[in-house]
């Protein structure tokens, strides 16, 4: 993961991956995690996703990790929250009611700093990482989250027609990445309306990993 690549994308406003409302697949399938009220959900590489506000509206607490500072500032501003901010070594901790965001390299976030989480929602992290970094990320996530159950959103498309991110992660890859530690259940797969980035036919899928 090249930090400068993502900082440049945010600086240029090239954030087509940012959805203007909570992801419909998240809204449809959050209940499959069978979470108790006030559960703590980890959203890695969260950007300023509207999914966070929606999860809080469902009565849950959210903890996120995001590389780009302007994305974190925009997230809090759009929710009308003035965060408490403190430095934690390589990270900055932004805190508000029911919300903790750690800004910086996710690999600098350890288990003690993250704290206990009840579930993970990964919409934009795994698909953002090139293959060599994916397994390192998956191992890191398992360690810091105690292999918490998760909802995972992926895309599948012909990557010879378009390079990522978001990268293509077909069903076989999900099974390969997760089957040693999770039961993998495909909840839904649907075509991306208008194609991914308007360039290539693609399927968006949501998985339950538990």
Helix/strand/coil (H/E/C) assignment for every residue in 59-113: CCEEEEEECCHHHHHHHHHHCCCCCEEEEECCEEEEEECCEEEEECCHHHCCHHH
Sorting pLDDT into bands at 50, 70 and 90, what band is 1? low
**Superfamily of the domain at 3-8+22-30+37-209:** Vaccinia Virus protein VP39 (3.40.50.150)
Contact 29, 58 (CB under 8 A): no
Structure tokens that stand for 91 in this block: 């990270």
d(CA 80, CA 67): 21
Is 21 annotated as ligand-binding?
no
200 has a pLDDT exceeding 60: yes
Q: What is the pLDDT of residue 9?
A: 55
Is 135 annotated as ligand-binding?
no
Whose tokens are 């909570």? That residue is 22
Detail the DSSP E strand segments found in the chain: 40-44, 61-66, 84-88, 91-96, 99-103, 119-122, 150-157, 184-191, 202-209
What average pLDDT does this structure show over 170-193?
Answer: 97
Sorting pLDDT into bands at 50, 70 and 90, what band is 6? very low
Is 10 annotated as ligand-binding?
yes
The predicted model scores a pTM of 0.91
Is 190 annotated as ligand-binding?
no
Q: What is the pLDDT of residue 19?
A: 65
Q: What is the pLDDT of residue 10?
A: 45
To the nearest whole percent, how much of the chain has pLDDT over 70?
A: 91
Structure tokens that stand for 144 in this block: 């810091």
């Amino acid at each position: 993961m090249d930090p400068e690549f993502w900082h440049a994308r945010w600086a240029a406003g090239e954030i087509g991956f940012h959805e203007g409302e909570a992801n419909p697949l998240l809204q449809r399938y959050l209940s499959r995690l069978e979470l108790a009220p006030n559960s703590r959900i980890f959203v890695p590489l969260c950007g300023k996703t509207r999914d966070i506000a929606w999860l809080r509206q469902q009565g849950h607490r959210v903890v996120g990790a995001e590389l780009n500072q302007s994305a974190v500032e925009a997230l809090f501003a759009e929710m009308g929250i003035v965060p408490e901010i403190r430095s934690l070594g390589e990270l900055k901790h932004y805190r508000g009611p029911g919300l903790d965001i750690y800004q910086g390299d996710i690999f600098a976030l350890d288990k003690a700093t993250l704290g206990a989480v009840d579930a993970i929602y990964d919409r934009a992290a795994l698909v953002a990482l090139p293959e060599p970094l994916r397994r390192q990320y998956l191992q890191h996530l398992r360690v810091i989250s105690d292999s918490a159950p998760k909802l995972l959103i992926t895309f599948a498309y012909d990557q010879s027609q378009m390079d990522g991110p978001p990268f293509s992660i077909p069903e076989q890859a999900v099974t390969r990445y997760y089957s040693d530690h999770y039961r993998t259940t495909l909840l839904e797969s649907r075509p991306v309306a208008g194609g991914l980035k308007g360039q290539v036919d693609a399927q968006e899928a949501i998985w339950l990993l538990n």
